Amino acid sequence: MQVLLWKGLNTEAQESALSRPNALSQIDVSEILQAVRANGDTALRDYTRRFDGVELGDIRVPVADLKTAWDSLCQEDQAALKTAKANIETFHKAQMPKTISVTTMSGVICSREPRALDSAGLYVPGGTAPLVSTLMMLALPAKIAGVKKCVITTPPQKNGKIATPLLAAAYLCDVDEVYKIGGAQAIAALAYGTQTIPKTVKIFGPGNAYVAAAKAQVSMEMGGPAIDLPAGPSEVMVLADDQANPVFVAADMLAQAEHDTLAQVICVCRSQSFADKIQDELTQQQAQLSRRDITQKALAHARILIVENTDTMIDITNTYAPEHLIVQIENSESILADIQNAGSVFLGQWTPESVGDYASGTNHTLPTFGAARAYSGIVLESFMKYISVQSLTRAGLETLGPVVERLALMEGLDAHKNAVSLRLFNIAGSQS
């Protein structure tokens, strides 16, 4: 882990301190995409055998297995899932858009009508950790939005089955299409469709570098699916003053580091003494973790940046645009208005990132790799689109028509002008 004094760095060194690994640019999954497009389920079975070491029977999980999985959970686990579901639903239901109708001028009415997507492909990682939370963060907003067809793909375990908590969560979220496919081949199936897995119009969900590369590539094809967000390794930035609790700061850093060896972990603090406390805590807490082999590798490229004031913290945040921003400074709410670029913000010492990851109600599918400069995380509208509508009365066209004729002439588009002129001529003839 690097500890850097920010004011002692030149511009180039500061940019380097906030750089991210460019993992996706070196990954080519075109062969996988083409094979699945051409050979469908056969290719899916071949790649699952090759990459996961699993000989697939049925690709789709029997619907009855979902309820069986739910019934097998203990009451405490069921209660935890129900609480998370209730909070996620409450927050996302509040986002439901309404129809907008405006009279822009007399006789001219313009409207915007929300519509749910026809289908959504939901990719749920299930390799080193079966992400029940991701399934809920995707399936519940899709259902609330009114998406008619939700299709879940998730990689099988070595025994060829899907982890019980994932199937239980699918049952709780009322999604019955679950397929035992992971990796770039799953994205190809959702993009093109196979004999078993239906094609979807938009693909959601995080994954490894191969999944991210596949999503990026299929979304650039003509007629290809839309995707939720540009993706990179998961990341956190923690802002901490000397009054922050180093135990909490270190715990939040490790919570991010255990995701992936490429996870990006940065702490911006105010003093060397606090940086030392964080490092001591990281060492002590990491020794107790079951995934410390992953956290050790992630922390090897983590950074602690020491700055002189809160304004510099804000500048660094907006430059880096973190996926997760944890603010552990006095009066943390006071800087919120100045934070322009962040996927999700966690204010105050009693708000660990974990609550947003699981059950506060906000969505944990967030922009990474600096995409928070231009993208939001998943919201209800991610599963929706809008149709614009205009309706003119005869009097409205008489008023607006001449304006449109002039604009069409300015662009040299005669047919556009004629579509108006012929109607105005018809109106004039009926009045004579």
Whole-angstrom distance, CA of residue 312 vs CA of residue 370? 18
Listed in sequence order, the residues at least 6 apart from 151 whose beta carbon sits closer than 8 Å to its beta carbon are 119, 120, 121, 122, 177, 179, 190, 197, 198, 200
Instruction: Return the pLDDT at 24.
Output: 56
Residue type (1 letter), 218: V
Residue 323 appears among annotated catalytic residues = yes
Q: In what order do the strands lie in the sheet with 264-269?
A: 2-5, 303-306, 264-269, 235-240, 324-328, 344-347
Q: Which helix (H) or strand (E) is 149 found in, with range?
A: strand 149-153
Instruction: Return the pLDDT at 1.
Output: 92
10 Å CB burial of residue 79 (0-12, 13-18, 19+) is exposed
β 344-347/264-269 pair status: unpaired
Residue type (1 letter), 227: I
Q: What is the DSSP letter of 203?
A: E
Among candidate residues 92, 323, 353, 364, the one labeled active-site is 323
- What is the residue-wise DSSP string for 208-229? -HHHHHHHHHHHTSTTPPEES-
Hey, which CATH number is domain 2-23+232-361, 3.40.109.10, 3.40.50.1980, 1.10.579.10, 1.20.1080.10? 3.40.50.1980
Residue type (1 letter), 171: Y
Instruction: Return the pLDDT at 72.
Output: 98
Helix runs in 126-271, H state only: 132-145, 164-172, 183-192, 209-219, 246-257
29-94+116-230 CATH: 3.40.50.1980
What CA–CA distances, in Å, run from 141 to 70, 87, 377? 20, 12, 12
The tokens for 312 are 């510099």
SS3 330: coil
Strand partners, 120: 150
Q: Which helix (H) or strand (E) is 424 found in, with range?
A: helix 414-431
Tokens 């322009």, located at residue = 340
What CA–CA distances, in Å, run from 195 to 176, 199, 218, 294, 417? 18, 10, 19, 37, 48
Strand partners, 108: 105, 392
Which residue stretches of the chain have pLDDT < 70?
Answer: 23-25, 127-128, 432
Residues 30-40: tens digit of each pLDDT: 999 999 999 99
What CA–CA distances, in Å, run from 173 to 141, 143, 144? 10, 8, 10
Please answer whether residues 160 and 55 qualify as being in contact, where contact means their C-beta atoms are separated by less than 8 angstroms. yes
Whole-angstrom distance, CA of residue 203 vs CA of residue 83? 26
Q: 318-341 in b/e burial notation, b at 16+ Cβ within 10 A?
A: bebbbbbbbbbbeebeebeeebeb
The tokens for 160 are 């060829």
Q: What is the DSSP letter of 8?
A: G
Instruction: Return the pLDDT at 23.
Output: 58
Whole-angstrom distance, CA of residue 268 vs CA of residue 6? 9
Among candidate residues 92, 259, 324, 364, the one labeled active-site is 324
